[in-house]
Structure formats: structure tokens, C-alpha cells
Copies of this chain bind each other. A is one copy, B any other.
């Protein structure tokens, strides 16, 4: 990526390109466009992180609530975003057997009941077994610690999505 190409983008194209680096939150990339010119990709990532941390807890929870369940109803009904579809697929969530789907459904429900937001984990960095284990583990967290943990996962997902975009040919995406 040439950062100058990114810095020259009109906000419409910037949001079209980076609008889903935080799942269903184009507001965030649209906001950090204000901080152009960016030095490099790490600078974009830092601005997104800074923006997320500037939000009240309700806003951080709001970001999490824009995420789909893992192996949940959006996956079953084919309504995941392309990015989520790819990530859940890589983590083996699209090839669960029916017992595994029921198990994930129960764990997800318990988690949402407890915290009021869905379980978010960077699926690209974890396989099926890791995901089930961490979901069970994180269910035991206190709410404040879990919110922080989940937001760190959002940032990992965002980082990988950003890298994936800039490694591809930007022009073909606009």
C-alpha cells in the first residue's frame, strides 16, 4: 500500500474501503478520516483504537452488539458480512455438526444473558477448539474485565481486516 493513495481518498471512498474494519461500524472509519494525513497503516490503526477508547462504556458495548454470534443465526441464514463469513469459515464455524452448533448456541446464549453483548473473538487467530475453550473461560470473567477483553479482540479483528485490505489492490475495491 502507498499511504499517499489512502490519504488522497475522498471520505466516500475511504468509508467504502475501510467502513467494515470494525464490524458494521462505518461511523468509526468515517470519524478517523478527520485525522488525515496518516503516516502509515499503524497510524490508522492507532486512530481507530484511540477513537474506540474515547467512547463511554455504552459505546464499547454498542460496538460489540454490532457483531454476529459465532456459528449463530446470521451464519445459518447467510446474512453475515463478507468479512465475518470468511473469518468464521477459517475458524471452522461453518462446518460444525449439529451437536456442535447446539453447544455453541447454548454457550453464546449464556454469555449474552450474562453480559448483554455477544462473545467476540478474533476468529482468524483461533481454531474451533480454542474458541469453545475461551468462550467457556471468559464466561467466568467479571463484566468490566470482559468488556475490556472483548474490545481487545475487536482491535485484533480490525488490525487483520486493515492489513487484508491494504495488501489487496485498493483500486479494484472502489
Contacts and interface: CB of A to CB of B under 8 A. Distances in A.
A129 B28 CA distance: 33
Interface in A77-127: 112, 116-117
Contact of A34 (B26, B33, B57): B57
A84 to B, nearest CB: 14
Interface stretch (A37-45, A62-70, A130-138, A157-165): A62-70
A83 to B, nearest CB: 16
Interface in A1-47: 10-12, 15, 24-35
A48 B55 CA distance: 14
Interface residues of A, number: 31
**Chain A interface, >50% SS class:** helix
B58 A56 contact: no
A30 B116 contact: no
Contacts of A61: 30-31, 33-34
Contacts of A33: 61-62, 65, 116
Contact of A58 (B35, B59, B112): B35
Contact of A59 (B15, B31, B57): B31
26 contacts: A11-B65, A11-B116, A11-B117, A15-B65, A15-B66, A24-B26, A26-B66, A27-B27, A27-B66, A28-B62, A30-B63, A30-B66, A31-B55, A31-B56, A31-B59, A31-B62, A32-B58, A32-B62, A33-B61, A33-B62, A33-B65, A34-B58, A34-B61, A34-B116, A35-B58, A55-B55
Given A27-B62, A33-B61, 11 more contacts: A10-B112, A11-B116, A15-B65, A25-B27, A27-B59, A29-B62, A30-B61, A30-B63, A30-B65, A31-B61, A33-B62
